[in-house]
Amino acid sequence: MQDASLFVPLFATAAMREVFSDTARLQAMLDFESALAGAQAACGTIPVTAAPAIARACDAARFDLRALAQATALAGNAAIPLVRALRNAVAAQDEQAARHVHQGATSQDCIDSGLVLQLQRAYALLDVDVGRLGDTLCDLAVAQAATVMPGRTLLQQAEPVSFGLKIAGWLDALSRSRHRLRAAAHAVNVIQCGGATGSLAAFGARGLEVAAALAQTLGAALPTLPWHSQRDRLVDLGGALAILIGSLGKMARDVALLAQTEVGEVAEPLAPGRGGSSVLPHKQNPIGCAVALAAAAQAPGLQATLLGAMTQEHERGLGGWHAEWETLPRLCLLASGALAQMNEVLAGLRVNPARMRENLAADGGLMFAPALAQALAVHWGAGAAHDRVTEWCRIAQREGCQLREIAGRLEEVTRVLDAATLDAVFDPEAQLGLAAALIARAADAWRAAQPA
């Protein structure tokens, strides 16, 4: 990935960019080579003196990234020129040790294991930011539990809802994403060590011992088999990242819609230079939401690339493996940026309860029609009540008056519903159902799932 670009800081955090920088990618592959030599020395398959000499040379700062990049374009992958350069670096100090660099391994062992190391670092960063966002949502949902607003279905006002319940929905989805991401990151934390065709033949009779020692050194697990052309773990992680990004996009979409001038129920936080316009002095654009939505627009295609790359040929794939190199890191980068933006948006979200209440009456109180029909259904039956209330809604729309006014002047209504009952029907707080209990369930579930 690029270390710097005009747009990169907008869509990815500095910490995540560092994880997938060229230097970090190179160092992860060198960490594999150093650990491999150490494992082989410990198992007696290379001289004990070779491992320290190889380890000393496994420092990314010693290598010319530009030259390696140019050589990669010719070789087809970065491990080939890297191993050649590593051998030369070791030979400059110990020619005998240089003979044992990368012994028995293949390029994909080096590249895949290096990627696994990077992904674990990426996951650690993401999990912290997911946890921070979840804590913010948890507190916000509880704080806004009694804040009444219009509920909207198919972009039309439906029934009153609690703003806290909307937030609890975001939190519940984030909780599932955290669990999904944690499981996928754990599953993918396995080394790649199989040699050319995955049989460990070049490692000799002690190949499994070497692989186990390698895994232990790298802090990863030893898989049942090498997985050169079986990419399901990586695809599973990509799916978890894409779903997380999609859930962040859902939050962003809701916030952006509520922040429209005509709605005005929430707004992103104010900060100098944030969300301004080059020509309109009054604008405060929801830029945090824009970044999360942009990430959500890209994630499906990236995950589709990983899925499409699964059909790899025989023991080593041609092209499919190569398609992963930038795709999975890109998902990590987008997830980091979307999380950072939504953390900032929701931590400083400006909520306008007064505007929410105003909007409850914006359509003439029609959103109370379901409650009115339900109250009348006890006396008239559900079908008849629904049909009559529908008629009154059309009258309210035509005359530009409130549904409560129409219901209150109809003798057929007042005969079965007294004034107190009608007041309750049109009381938004009385229409929130079990919102408070549901919010508590989401908050309790989030808190209970936190690591000790």
Contacts of 200 (CB under 8 A, 6+ apart): 104, 193, 194, 207, 208, 211, 226
Which residue in the list 84, 316, 355, 357 is annotated as catalytic? 316
- What's the CA dihedral at 293, 298, 299, 304 to 10 degrees? 150
Active site annotation includes 316: yes
> At which residue do the structure tokens 């008056």 appear?
401
CB 436 within 8 A of CB 145: yes
Q: What number of residues does the chain have? A: 452
Contacts of 396 (CB under 8 A, 6+ apart): 364, 365, 366, 402, 403, 405, 406
What kind and span of H or E run contains 29?
Answer: helix 22-42
CB 13 within 8 A of CB 337: yes
The first and second tokens of residue 387, run together, are 């049909």
Residues pairing with 267 in the sheet: 350
Active site annotation includes 229: no
Three-state SS for 131-166 is HHHHHHHHHHHHHCCCCEEEEEECCEEEEEEEHHHH
Q: CA-to-CA distance for 271 and 273, rounded, in angstroms? A: 6
Q: CA-to-CA distance for 150 and 389, rounded, in angstroms? A: 19
How far is C-alpha 271 from the geometric centre of its chain's CA atoms? Answer: 25
Q: CA-to-CA distance for 425 and 68, rounded, in angstroms? A: 72
Opening angle at CA 241, ends 244 and 337, nearest 5:
75
CB 149 within 8 A of CB 356: yes
Q: CA-to-CA distance for 423 and 425, rounded, in angstroms? A: 5
Q: Among 283, 252, 258, which Cα is nearest to 346's?
A: 252
Q: CA-to-CA distance for 129 and 411, rounded, in angstroms? A: 58
Q: CA-to-CA distance for 336 and 18, rounded, in angstroms? A: 12
Q: CA-to-CA distance for 401 and 394, rounded, in angstroms? A: 10
Which residue in the list 62, 277, 350, 441 is annotated as catalytic? 277
Residues pairing with 152 in the sheet: 157
Contacts of 132 (CB under 8 A, 6+ apart): 343
Active site residues: 277, 316
